Amino acid sequence: MNCTDVKEWTVAYLELDLEASLVRNITAHLEGCPVCRDEMEAVRQVLVRLKRRAVPDPGDRFWNEFPDHVRHQLVHAQGEATPLQRPSRPLRLWTGIPVRSWPMALAASVALLVGAWMLAGVLEPRNGGPALKEQPVTQSPVEGKSDLPHIVEADWEDFGEEDPDMVLVEMASRLDRQTVDRLFGEI
Amino acid sequence: MAESDNELLDRYAAGDESAFEELVRRHQRTVYDLAYRMLENHADAADLAQKTFVQAFLHHRTFRRESSFRTWLFQIGLNQCRNAIRDRARLTHADVDGLPLAAPQDTFAVAAAAELRDRLGWAIRALPERQREALVLRVYHNHAFAEIGAIMSCSEGTAKANYHHAVSKLRRVLVGGEERP
């Protein structure tokens, strides 16, 4: 082992972060090399001075009040959370029973789909039935698209940032009004 | 026997306010110490220590408990420190390699202790960010290098190398003298 090797391992040697065999070799070298001993001592002095650097104690009052400061900031931070980060708040229906909004949204979505499917079934021409198919369904302003998908897509985009419950209610009212106007007006 | 951090976290998640206070009191000095050693002033350290706990409690459900809560706090704290250092730009960007070497060792005996402390503080502040982090975690918080790697999101070997370079640079600046070949 030469001086260059010892220099490379100086920090690890002082940190006791070396294998025993390596420690023995370095120790043996140090016994016969005053230059490396001086270097080792210089690095050790750096570590000693570093260790002596104390952080000033801010005092008991600071530590006693610290949890309250954290709590205050935490409450403030929770208040700043975006609506998507907040847990959904329970709605209170007319029964006074708190209900989470997402099951209501899911139920409303299912009801809408079933309603649309049933309406489509009612209006589908039957054998020998009224010649409804001779009455073309009014086309949406967008060519090639029927009214229903157009309404659904457009309304979701319009209400993307709104309360999902309100979006569904609004969509249901629009869908119902437009569908009734279109379908029953033609009948 | 005192409750573990994870048990306290469970109680906090269940709405127990006393667990919150116990967790903060248990780690407040450690987090403040880390912040102070990285930022070197009380106001910033106090602010950053509070932010560290706020982030921890805001996101406690994302803590996967693969490391200790303390290690997780250190990770959050170091991230806060990095942001603070970059945002506020309060620390010098001087490269410690460019600093003049200290006087030869025989004149150190007459150097004032305060001057030495200032020089040490200056040299530490001038260290590259990662080297400084490794130095603080090792010297002042006695973390093993594997843990330092976990906190700094690097390998154990990288943590050791950062620490080694930091000490070597401080040795050159503080002790002075000619570098040996």
Convert the pLDDT of each residue in B153-174 to its tens digit: 999 999 999 999 999 999 988 7
Residues present in chain B in total: 181
Q: Which tens digits make up the pLDDT trace of A12-66? A: 999 888 889 999 999 999 999 999 999 999 999 999 989 998 999 999 999 999 9
Report yes or no: B164 at the A interface, CB cutoff 8 Å: yes
Residue A60 DSSP SS3? helix
b/e for B155-171, b at 16 or more Cβ within 10 A?
Answer: eeebbbbbbbbbbbbbb
CB B150 within 8 A of CB B67: yes
Report yes or no: B50 at the A interface, CB cutoff 8 Å: yes
- pTM greater than the 0.90 cutoff: no
State whether B32 and A58 contact (CB < 8 Å).
yes
CB A15 within 8 A of CB B137: no
Rounded distance, CA A105 to CA A111, Å? 10
Q: A180 to chain B nearest CA, in Å? A: 48
Structure confidence at residue A178 (pLDDT): 63
Cα torsion A155, A161, A167, A168: sign: positive
CB A9 within 8 A of CB A2: no
Structure confidence at residue A162 (pLDDT): 54
CB B127 within 8 A of CB B166: yes
Q: Which two tokens stand for residue B135?
A: 């130095």
Q: What is the DSSP string of chain B?
A: -PPPHHHHHHHHHTT-HHHHHHHHHHHHHHHHHHHHHHH-SHHHHHHHHHHHHHHHHHTGGG--SSS-HHHHHHHHHHHHHHHHHHHH--S----GGGSPPPPPGGGGGGS-HHHHHHHHHHHHHTS-HHHHHHHHHHHTT---HHHHHHHHTS-HHHHHHHHHHHHHHHHHHHT-SPPP-
HEC per residue, B18-40: HHHHHHHHHHHHHHHHHHHHHHC
Q: Which residues of chain B have pLDDT under 70?
A: 88-117, 175-181
Pairwise pLDDT comparison (A100 vs A20), residue with the higher score: A20
Q: Where are the domains of chain A?
A: 3-52, 91-186
Q: What mean pLDDT do residues A151-160 have?
A: 46
Cα torsion A97, A99, A103, A106: sign: positive
State whether A77 and B58 contact (CB < 8 Å).
yes
Residue A73 DSSP SS3? helix
Mean pLDDT in chain B?
83
State whether A12 and B171 contact (CB < 8 Å).
no
Cα distances (Å, whole numbers) of residue B10 to A70, B7, B14, B36, B84: 19, 5, 6, 29, 30
Chain A partners within 8 Å of B29 (Cβ)? 63
Residue of B122, B162, B167 to mutate, interface with A, max A Cβ within 10 Å:
B167
DSSP element (H, E) containing A112: helix A101-123
Give chain B's domains with CATH numbers. 1-91 (1.10.1740.10), 93-181 (1.10.10.10)
Structure confidence at residue A182 (pLDDT): 64
Q: Which residues lie below 8 Å from residue B122, measured CB to CB, with a gap of 6+? A: B92, B99
ipTM of the complex: 0.79
Q: What mean pLDDT do residues A61-90 have?
A: 77
Structure confidence at residue A81 (pLDDT): 60
